[in-house]
A and B are shown apart, each in its own frame.
Chain A
Amino acid sequence: MAQTTSDIANGAYLKFKGDIVVVVEFQHVNPGKGSAFVRARLKSLTSGKVVEQTWKAGEVLEFVDVQKRKMQYLYSDPTGFTFMDQDTFDQVTVNRSVLEDRAGFLKEGLEVHVVLHEGTPISVELPKKVSLKVTEAFSAVRGDTAGGNLTKEVTVETGVQVKVPMFIKEGESVVMNTDTGEYVERG
């Protein structure tokens, strides 16, 4: 049976304007003076750009069949990020653009799901939370919190900077939300 807007879900993959996109967010909209619509935010897997799209409820959509493989992160180089299947030792390299803004959450040995379409990796699904070691942090200076300034930037083991509360010290680990990039807890 053809799949329609009622089968849409966050994280679903669609063919859209000759590209493959992932549904980041969707919402049923009923503007009152028109039919019911489904408005979605779609992230292009090739460009990483997010676009808004609206369909009339019930329209047929082209869902993409994907295969998700549990793999471990090995290393990155200019061609991309390489992952390995721990059972078969198969290795897969994913284009840099696929992970771009989330690359800072990739630490060696991290288990992810690599999403494949017709054998080609099209996306990587990270665990919702990733724990990262703080490698560089300045101590909070008295007065920092006075202006409502309750966070600071620290560098973590993957080399990127993240925002964490003032009380976090060098050498501690922080749990980060990989969707929002926000600090969750110490850990």
Chain B
Amino acid sequence: MQQSHAVTMLALRAHIVRKVREFFWSQQFIEVETPVALACPSQEPYLEPLRTTIHDVRGRAHDAFLRMSPEFSLKKVMAAGVDRVFEIGPVFRDGEPWGDTHNPEFTMIEWYRAHADYRQLMRDGEALVHTLLRARRTLRYQDQIIDCATPWERLTMRQAWRRYARLDLDGLLTRTAMARACRAKGYTVTAGDTFDDLFFKIHLSEVEPKLGRARPTFLTDWPASMAALARKKSRDPRYAERVELYLGGLELANGFSELTDADEQLARFREDQRLRKRLGRTPYPIDHAFIAALRRMPPTAGIALGIDRLVMLLCDAATVDEVRWLPTKKLWETPGSQ
């Protein structure tokens, strides 16, 4: 019997995941499994966790959230004294597109290293993909030939904006200045637009589509308002030590030199809660055990990489549906049988 395309993809995917696992094992990382259902989801203002209810044996109901990332749990592992840790597993995001490059349930690998910063994460990313490509130096993806020879391109956000949007980001870090730049370029500016909204109008049109096309690109040093859980640059606190990896037009990974200042983290969570409220979204409880863990966590770098997109790249698949068995779309768009 001839194997279907879906079965071939399944086998290739299994092989890639195994190689990823072996790569981190060979570098003395400990593989862990942390909870998928959480009491406190992460607080990103623009992401929605998948919500459910868990009952104890007396039937009492508790809110439960399927994790958007294992980040908090893994940092608790780091705080407990583990030096290198990784986890491969499912994460969930509600209200995201079903198909193309997204699936509301997807597989992520996150890895964390103590006493390291985001520069080490970039070297890890290069080494990982190098291993997966074996002897090949180039990757062919959807008619693009990507030269994967290391070192890969490293661009700060400021350099990327200068090159592709022809703007000096340093002068645009206030809402007023960014609004002026947007208007000059013909983007709409509405009263409700935040600095981040205006930033992304230019970034998503003019900068992001250019990244990682001929070579993989690490985009580093994001404006501090987009720092999330990253620490600010000590020499220039207007920017944060955050890195995203782009390959073949796909955003593949997002990492930080982690914020270890528990008080600042708490303040950012409270700010995120306020922002969520303003946006008409439910603010979630703050994970105080996580804040406490941060006080014990050594300087750490951590990164999340999308396994589905990695498989897409290595198997030259155009959509995430091709590389996942039973994508969400299939589960809900196929009418159930009687």
Contact = CB atoms under 8 A, between A and B. Distances in A.
A169 interface: no
Interface in B174-206: 186-188, 190, 193, 196-197, 199-202, 204-206
B89 interface: no
A55 interface: yes
A6 interface: no
Interface string A53-79: 111100100000000000000000000
A56 B97 contact: no
Contacts of A35: 46, 196-197, 200
A86 interface: no
Given A54-B187, A55-B188, A34 B196 contact: yes
Nearest to B186: A17
A9 interface: no
Contacts of A29: 204
A31 B186 contact: no
Given A30-B97, A53-B187, A37 B46 contact: no
A33 B196 contact: yes
A12 to B, nearest CB: 17
Given A33-B44, A59-B190, A53 B97 contact: no
Nearest to A27: B100
Contacts of B254: 32
B327 interface: no
A31 B205 CA distance: 12
A34 B100 contact: no
Contacts of B318: none
Interface in A15-42: 16-17, 27-37, 39
B190, B205, B228 interface centre (most CB from chain A within 10 Å): B205
A52 B202 CA distance: 10
Interface residues of A, number: 21
Contacts of A36: 46
Contacts of B261: none
A32 B206 contact: no
A56 B201 contact: yes
B129 interface: no
A52 B200 contact: no
Given A27-B100, A39-B205, A54-B205, A34 B190 contact: no
B47 interface: yes
Nearest to A51: B205
Contacts of B206: 52
B249 to A, nearest CB: 11
Contact of B204 (A16, A39, A51, A59): A39
Given A27-B100, A52-B205, A33 B226 contact: yes
B299 interface: no
Given A52-B205, A52-B206, A54-B205, A34 B200 contact: yes
B209 interface: yes
B96 interface: yes
Contacts of A30: 46, 96-97, 102
Interface string B84-102: 0000000000001100101
B271 to A, nearest CB: 14
A34 B178 CA distance: 15
B46 A34 contact: yes
Nearest to B201: A54
A37 B97 contact: no
Contacts of A32: 44, 46-47, 254
Contacts of B188: 55, 59
18 contacts: A16-B186, A28-B97, A30-B96, A34-B46, A35-B197, A36-B46, A37-B200, A37-B201, A39-B204, A39-B205, A52-B209, A54-B187, A54-B201, A54-B205, A55-B188, A55-B201, A56-B190, A56-B193
Given A52-B205, A52-B209, A56-B201, 8 more contacts: A29-B204, A31-B200, A31-B204, A32-B46, A34-B197, A53-B187, A53-B205, A54-B202
